[in-house]
Structure 1
Amino acid sequence: MTLAPTDLILSAGSMMSVPVLDRLRPAREAGFAGVSLMGADYQQMVASGVSAEDLREHAADEGLVVTEVEGIYLGLPGREPGPTMPASLAQLLKGMDAPRYLAVAVAAGASSITVIDMFDGAVDIDQAAEAFANICDRARDLGLTVQLEYVVGGGIATYADTCEVIRRAGRGNGGLMIDSWHLFRGNVTLDELARTPGDRVFGVQINDGPPPTDADPLREMTKGRLMPGEGIFDLVGMIRTLDAIGSKAPISIEVFSDTLSALPADEAARRCAETTRATLHKARG
């Protein structure tokens, strides 16, 4: 099932407190077309006796697709987490190796994976491009696409460098995942976004953020994001820019938030859908 730019995806990051199978009906009732899966989700599924194939079947029963597996480690050797990264997150990221989770993506019926590097220290662009190309080649053999996500504070230092990694890798099934939190917290301008080839944008994650403070950015990234329209990000401008460059990527709402996690699953999914649709309506009319 190919999703359109008007289709909405409920990201795993918005529902981390809810068991994976329990997200499906609220997602369908809120009007989402698909859901994503994270490594932590998969580990919890396995621990409870639920397979990726089970998830695929349950999602289909609700009229949904599993769109992607998120958070796959780029796989550069010698990379280590920084001192501020929680040990549990570091352990999870290190375990998100591409070969294993490519197989999970296939079993879950996903069409893509998203690759990141969140560890300290700058990486060599050519080495990153080679690693990304290798993952793309493995994914292509399985019929999957691969998105590389720019992450503030990660090893690929800038949005421009992330785009350059994709360009140097030169793989047709390799593209970009744009997350509004990283875009705006990384001080990426809309003019810079406008120079991105639209056909290389494979995915878009939308969320909002408060005015910047001196607080720990990792905590805001993982626990303090806001719903679209509740913060200071120019989401309308971002969506209009993506439309102008010809992006056909569907929109995923990814709000890592303690406040959102405290809500019942149906209310959380409904709020995600309503705020995202309101933002898209402002941008597109």
Structure 2
Amino acid sequence: LGGLLTTVLAFREIGGWGPFVEAAGDKLHTVLPLNHPEMPWLAVFVGGLWIPNLFYWGLNQFITQRTLAAGSLSQAQRGIFLAAGIKLLIPFIIVFPGIIAAELYAGQIEIADQAYPVLIRELLPAGLTGIMFAALFGAVMSSLDSMLNSAATIFTIDLYQRFRAPDASQQRLVKVGRVATAVLVVIGCLWAPLVAAAGSVFQYIQMFWGFISPGIVAAFAFGMLSPRTPPLAAKGGMLLGVPVYGLLLWRFPDVAFLHHMAITFIAIALFMGLVTRLAPGEPREMARGTTGVNLTPAPGARLWAAAVVVGAAGLYVFFW
């Protein structure tokens, strides 16, 4: 609601939709030139943009853990549809106000990440300003909490318990998880100045994901589509993605990082395909009906899924 209020006030300040479109210019277009440094059209429709999207919303632990915690398949699907519907509002409550802020308060904005806070400070009255900043802080803390929980869980369960203390008690694992969380917070604080020096925090984060997202997407894709892909292929592919992506960033810094992601994904897929061909594993069977969870789909699940797809496609067509 706060985001919608900010959008309404921002449009009133700039004079409505017509002046906004005139001032925004090419910022409203989703189809940008092939040599665009950030979002070339090839990457948007058939290239690298699919990789971070599939990774973040479908394979990222601190996102998917919320869905996996659902009591049934129906609850999980309804939660996803609700989140997807809200996601379709992002252009209206985040992107448009940011563009308006850049037009109205360009002299007060030094980096892109300051646009929305400046807009809130200038447009909202004192009481609402405090509420909005509190909401933003809460959203950031919620995401940070999920990330730290996921990272600490991976370290505690997949590394510490597996390789160091297989027989560790639950109390011991909880203590190790807390220590891991504290260490991660300290590392994050020490790393923050480097992120700030990079310019846009959002852009930096998206670029950094490229070191791991192509490998994870490829591993899941082969795991679902090829029952004979051995674990070695997935592990090797994820390790291979780090130097390949880093080399592309170093050798071709002027090329959009989404292209680097796509090339890295292709390299990993070729590697995994070769390993699967030369050293195939034993065929795997999917376990069914062993979790005790009600797997009955939500009523109208396909209809809601189609509505989300049509809504997303409609945004691209409208802002072509």
Q: TM-score, normalised on structure 2? A: 0.21
**Using CA pairs below 8 Å that are at least 6 residues apart, which structure has the higher relative contact order?**
2
Tell me which protein shows more helix as a share of its residues.
Answer: 2
Higher strand share: 1
Larger Rg: 2
